[in-house]
Structure 1
């Protein structure tokens, strides 16, 4: 028995195909409207495989599909009935739909069959996105086409946002040819560089961060806060939540005797100030959540201890967009003692939260200029 996947429409199929096979790098037939229709129709009838239960389809399966069927004939028994009728012929589909009170209004004319097969499905097959029925000749009229199971996974309507991007990237790495992977990578890199947040590091080099408000806060920390606060700032590491990548200055880390694992990097950024005894600044950029609270500070100090960094040489900064921003209003109360807060829209100031020094050397909770003692 076929385990049906969620039904999708042509619009969603087209949107996903464009993400998988961007037109800047791939034949446009891979993401054409008729190609999207094919994906939607094959998922509807359960033509996904290959395995012992695979339902095999013909190009006409896509040509004879229509919106009303996708929207209303959603029960598994109706999906099986429609698929069986499509295997018998066009008149069988029309008769079945009439029994359901529907008028047969197929998506494409019959002469589109060769275009779908030759310009779309063959290309998808070449890119490991489709499978064919073993033992059936290419010139046979028998049903022999299905979506590859791993490719069909990318059309789950519940797969969205970052999870979808990750799934597409993993599929590209696992199933595309070397040449196709290079094409996809080039398009992604071009788009990323066009949209990325450009951060100029203290040494003059430029680091591209993924688009987003958290990246803008990190940019402010590096370009605005660090030059004001630190004597000679060095950016040792910047991590990103999206692709789980990080900028890590391995040479400087080795010189300082510090090791940072990219896969286990805890803070959003690590900076080093060469002034005085040398201070390691651990930074968290908060656009939604994640300030340096008591628990977080303890975790970060544990990491520092493992690197043989004395606690007095570690400082902590939670960076926000604004004092008026929701995350700051909610989480300032949770800042760990002995830490600082900074706001991108007020770059010349910082907030310090600490215990009152009874000797009078330390200032209680107040807004300080960066050069204040």
Structure 2
């Protein structure tokens, strides 16, 4: 059997798959989340081509009688026993719970089956998420519903983060008509825009860039808006990168004038800032650390190799590792790994920085080795 998923997590994923700004909320309601959890729990998942007699079918009461106590009994034999009891009736489910030593407290009353059957399941079927058994009336006491396997795949607990969102995008592309896909894409962009982190670029006539919401983006915002303007004479943001090869170019004219090409397939730092008032132009290469990714000796060398391909000399490069706080776990864990000749900055203490360099008579106080 597939790994089970909690109703709450299923509901959260449904809201990503069917954003509420574009789809009826019945597709991603708490009851819909319970439906996904319950159908996966009883293994009511099939392929569109599977013979009907080989499919494990479920009925609305399979969802209505599900409970957190039942979901906690997640061994395959326990799940099969619950499915068998649910196919027989309410009394049998209650007796099974009693044998497990837990109360039978169904998630929903039987009177709510119409909403599930006539709205949620109907809409899922319209969007190729669930299969209905033919030849039986909707009011049949036999199970007639089973999640389609490629839809159920989206609820694998091991599929998380960007991988889940990419899979949800692929599923919509494969199963929804162009108009519905467009509505969904617009809704997702609107939702993302509401939570985006807006970064004001220095010396760019009010130019802004919107980054995906998150701790890393907030650190980048601090580096660009506060650190760079305090530390550098005339900072110009050349590029900001995000996960997934997403790159926000800063001043493209400056990139062209400096002969720099941003190759997203190559080593790429989180932020590249040039101090164009320095002579020669000095480049700051910044890594924003929300979880990991400090400028170690190895990372510093990789970034210097990248710079060399841009005809940027090593002595024209400086490196900054930016953290949320000195008290943040990544800082406590990784400060010891900073490369020689680099700096550290903390978003909650924006007017200070730390330097880590080898002390010698020739460069005491310079911070550059």
Query: TM-score normalised to the size of structure 2?
Result: 0.80
Kindly state the Cα deviation for residue 208 of structure 1 after the two structures are TM-superposed. Answer: 1.8
Aligned CA distance change for structure 1 residues 130 and 274 (closer, same or farther; 3 Å): same
2:229 matched to 1:232?
no
Give the Cα–Cα distance (whole angstroms) in 2 for the partners of residues 324 and 69 of structure 1: 42
Which whole-Å deviations, capped at 9, do the CAs of 1:318-338 have from their partners, x for residues lacking one?
223445555445444433233
SS at match of 1:262: coil
Q: What is the aligned length?
A: 356
Which residue does 2:179 correspond to in 1? 179
Which residue does 2:364 correspond to in 1? 363
2:351 matched to 1:354?
no
- Equivalent runs, 1:120-269 vs 2, <5 Å: 120-133=120-133, 136=135, 141=140, 143-160=143-160, 164-202=164-202, 203=204, 204-241=206-243, 244-249=245-250, 252-269=254-271
Which whole-Å deviations, capped at 9, do the CAs of 1:232-290 have from their partners, x for residues lacking one?
3221111124x552212455434432222335452111112223122222111234432
Task: Report if the CA contact (8 A) 1:94-1:104 is conserved.
Answer: no
Deviates more, 1:322-331 or 1:338-347: 322-331
Give the Cα–Cα distance (whole angstroms) in 2 for the partners of residues 13 and 354 of structure 1: 50
Deviates more, 1:293-302 or 1:253-262: 253-262
SS at match of 1:211: coil
Give the Cα–Cα distance (whole angstroms) in 1 for the partners of residues 6 and 325 of structure 2: 42
1:274 pairs, out of 270, 273, 276, with 276
2:65 matched to 1:41?
no
Give the Cα–Cα distance (whole angstroms) in 2 for the partners of residues 152 and 143 of structure 1: 18
Aligned CA distance change for structure 1 residues 140 and 351 (closer, same or farther; 3 Å): closer
Query: TM-score normalised to the size of structure 1?
Result: 0.80
Give the Cα–Cα distance (whole angstroms) in 2 for the partners of residues 323 and 139 of structure 1: 61
Aligned CA distance change for structure 1 residues 110 and 254 (closer, same or farther; 3 Å): same
Task: Report if the CA contact (8 A) 1:292-1:317 is conserved.
Answer: yes
Task: Report if the CA contact (8 A) 1:353-1:365 is conserved.
Answer: no
1:344 pairs, out of 344, 347, 357, with 347
Which residue does 2:59 correspond to in 1? 58
1:289 pairs, out of 288, 292, 300, with 292
Deviates more, 1:114-123 or 1:15-24: 15-24
Give the Cα–Cα distance (whole angstroms) in 1 for the partners of residues 132 and 56 of structure 2: 11
Aligned CA distance change for structure 1 residues 59 and 273 (closer, same or farther; 3 Å): same
Kindly state the Cα deviation for residue 342 of structure 1 after the two structures are TM-superposed. Answer: 2.9
Kindly state the Cα deviation for residue 357 of structure 1 after the two structures are TM-superposed. Answer: 5.1
Give the Cα–Cα distance (whole angstroms) in 2 for the partners of residues 330 and 36 of structure 1: 38
Which residue does 2:316 correspond to in 1? 313
Which whole-Å deviations, capped at 9, do the CAs of 1:190-224 have from their partners, x for residues lacking one?
33333332210021211122333332221122112
Task: Report if the CA contact (8 A) 1:10-1:36 is conserved.
Answer: yes
Which whole-Å deviations, capped at 9, do the CAs of 1:79-104 have from their partners, x for residues lacking one?
334434555x53xx534653664687
Give the Cα–Cα distance (whole angstroms) in 1 for the partners of residues 42 and 64 of structure 2: 13
Aligned CA distance change for structure 1 residues 273 and 147 (closer, same or farther; 3 Å): same
SS at match of 1:317: strand
Give the Cα–Cα distance (whole angstroms) in 2 for the partners of residues 363 and 352 of structure 1: 11
Aligned CA distance change for structure 1 residues 117 and 325 (closer, same or farther; 3 Å): closer
Give the Cα–Cα distance (whole angstroms) in 2 for the partners of residues 105 and 365 of structure 1: 70
Structure 1 unaligned blocks of 5 or more: 369-373
SS at match of 2:237: strand
Kindly state the Cα deviation for residue 291 of structure 1 after the two structures are TM-superposed. Answer: 2.1
2:30 matched to 1:29?
no
Which residue does 1:116 correspond to in 2? 116
Kindly state the Cα deviation for residue 144 of structure 1 after the two structures are TM-superposed. Answer: 3.7
Calculate the aligned-residue CA RMSD, in Å: 3.4
Which residue does 1:77 correspond to in 2? 77
Aligned CA distance change for structure 1 residues 254 and 64 (closer, same or farther; 3 Å): same
